[in-house]
Amino acid sequence: MAQLLVVDLAPFLADRASPAALAECAKAARGLATHSAVCVADARVAAASNDAFLDLLEAYFAQSDAAKRADARPAVAFQVGATPPHTELPRCARDAECAALAAALPPPHRPAAFAAADPKWRFFHRIGARPPSTAFAGLHAAAVVPAAFPTWVEEMDAWGLLMHGAVLVLSEMIAIGLGLPADTFTTLTKDGPHLLAPTGSDLEEYGSLGTVLAGFHTDLNFLTIHGKSRFPGLNIWNRDGEKMLASVPDGCLLVQAGRQLEYLTGGHIAAGYHEVVVVESTLEAIKRQRERKRPLWRISSTLFFHVASDNELYPISKFATPENIERFPRILAGTQVQKELGFLNLSTE
Ligand SMILES: *[C@@H]1O[C@H](CO)[C@@H](O)[C@H](O)[C@H]1NC(C)=O
Ligand SMILES: [Fe+2]
């Protein structure tokens, strides 16, 4: 697989009508259509901000199990607060279509086993404004503040708003790159249930080669954006079913397409499959972190960017061909999310 394309936000932020800006917009649309992922360079996001966030989450996940379990909210499908390990099932575990797709990949590109629930912890924290009214209150529950972290909301918002800002600009650029009005996606995602969604995987316990930290799946939201992790291990697949270990260059944010973007583009941009597995370079990072006496929690600094729950998903504009309309029947984004949460063993509804 070729390297991921790097989309620089700077020309667009300086002058969105400039030829350089338009070239970056075209690249964003092309990169997502080809690889379901792009690297994004946003000079507004300092490496120190990612570091501060990773330090905070290492401290959070290093707490006792009991302290973290107090932050779990199963009644709202874990959509705020902590998700304990062995709760979330990789989507493929319950989706025959996905399992068949995985089985059809040639062995070097086949994903690791995905039948068991993931051993990772996660913490969900909503970012951005709440909708003035919504039929999906459970997707917009009040923030959970861990007892030992009095400034949690401010610190989580600091990183979350940086990711939100980057992905918002990218959404305009993708729309332009696809030949759509610039505000197409920013209108649909306004007041969406965007979630800062760091995962924490305990590599003391789950650090042996080949251990699956998050089994093969696509994300259910519109776009997913991450800063660089201190431990490699994220494998991503392109449209042709080729697997590659995501290596995020310094100064880049990794962005992946989710199912809502696939829906809106009638599959022109497909949601990107990925998994997190302990690989050789994870072991090297474990050794390095051990020598530095750093915690062995693998943190992801992920934000899930969503279409607003009360908006409908359907193939828009030029993507509304008869075949696409049949393949992607209209559905409220909130209903789509609730259905997917059932697949993931997060919701019993
Ligand atoms: C589903 O999640 C529950 C916790 O909510 C957990 O006890 C159970 O083991 C999970 N199911 C599977 C099949 O992993
Ligand atoms: Fe994911």
pLDDT of residue 235: 96
* Ligand lying closest to the C-alpha of residue 345: 1
Longest CA–CA span in the chain (Å) reads 59
- Write down the pTM of the prediction: 0.96
Say if residues 215 and 118 touch (Cβ distance below 8 Å).
yes
Per-residue pLDDT for the chain (349 aa), expressed as one digit of tens each?
A: 458 999 999 999 999 999 999 999 999 999 999 999 999 999 999 999 999 999 999 999 999 999 999 999 999 999 999 999 999 999 888 889 999 999 999 999 999 999 899 999 999 999 999 999 999 998 889 999 999 999 999 999 999 999 999 999 999 999 999 999 999 999 999 999 999 999 999 999 999 999 999 999 999 999 999 999 999 999 999 999 999 999 888 889 999 999 999 999 999 999 999 999 999 999 999 999 999 999 999 999 999 999 999 999 999 999 999 999 999 999 999 999 999 998 888 886 5
d(Cα 27, Cα 42) in Å, to the nearest integer? 15
| Ligand closest to the CA atom of residue 219 | 2
DSSP 277: E
Name the residue type at position 207: G
For residue 89, give the ligand 1 atom closest to its CA: 14
What count of other Cβ atoms lies within 10 Å of the Cβ of residue 127?
Answer: 23
Question: Of 260, 270, 290, which is closest to residue 185 (Cα–Cα)?
Answer: 260
Cβ of 184 less than 6 Å from ligand 1: no
For ligand 2, an ion, list residues with CB under 5 A: 219
Residue nearest to atom 10 of ligand 1 (CA): 87
The amino acid at 250 = D
**Measuring from atom 2 of ligand 1, which residue has the nearest CA?**
87
C-alpha 121 to ligand 1 mean position (Å): 13
| Span from the CA of 50 to the centroid of ligand 2 (angstroms) | 19
Cα 19 to middle of ligand 2, angstroms? 34
Distance CA 196, CA 247 (A): 21
pLDDT of residue 143: 94
Question: Could you give the 3-state DSSP secondary structure of residue 61?
Answer: helix
pLDDT at residue 34, rounded to an integer: 95
